[in-house]
Amino acid sequence: MYAFQARYRRVNDTRLRRYGIVVLDGVWGLTFRTNVNDLPGKPDIVFDDARTTLFVDGDFWHGYRFPQWEHRLTEFWRVKIAKNRERDRKTHARLRRAGWRVVRIWQHKIEKDLEGRLRNLDSLLARGPIEAA
């Protein structure tokens, strides 16, 4: 598997670095961009050649299992996180309609099994771009 060759680089984004995201540099001739402002939702990483976007979602801010713990929050935080979740859904739909594959990885998944997440991403990117409908 390519994901564990010596050729890699650490993305220079504080949030991605904090979660230990390591991304390959040039596998299958793919290049990537970080913090892309010209796509909906400003994906953390974009693999243009594979038409794939990657978002790293913090468990709190993006509401992992939100219905199970929202009752513990003040109204301000319930509204804030609910809006974040709705914006995530709309962003996902907009990117899919535009022909992009959308990958979201939860913070706790990276912290628990970084190598597994990288293998999954490696496998996904190996498939190439999604088929046009």
Which residues form the domain of 89?
Answer: 2-126
The verdict on residue 71 lying in a domain is yes
How do the pLDDT tens digits run along the chain, 133 residues long? Answer: 334 333 344 444 555 555 545 555 555 456 778 878 999 999 988 888 889 999 989 899 999 999 999 999 999 999 999 999 999 999 999 999 999 999 998 888 887 887 787 778 878 887 877 775 4
Domain count, the chain: 1
Tokens of 90: 């709309």
**81: Cβ–Cβ under 8 A, 6 or more apart, which residues?**
60, 61, 62, 63, 66, 70, 73
The verdict on residue 132 lying in a domain is no
State pTM to two decimals: 0.76
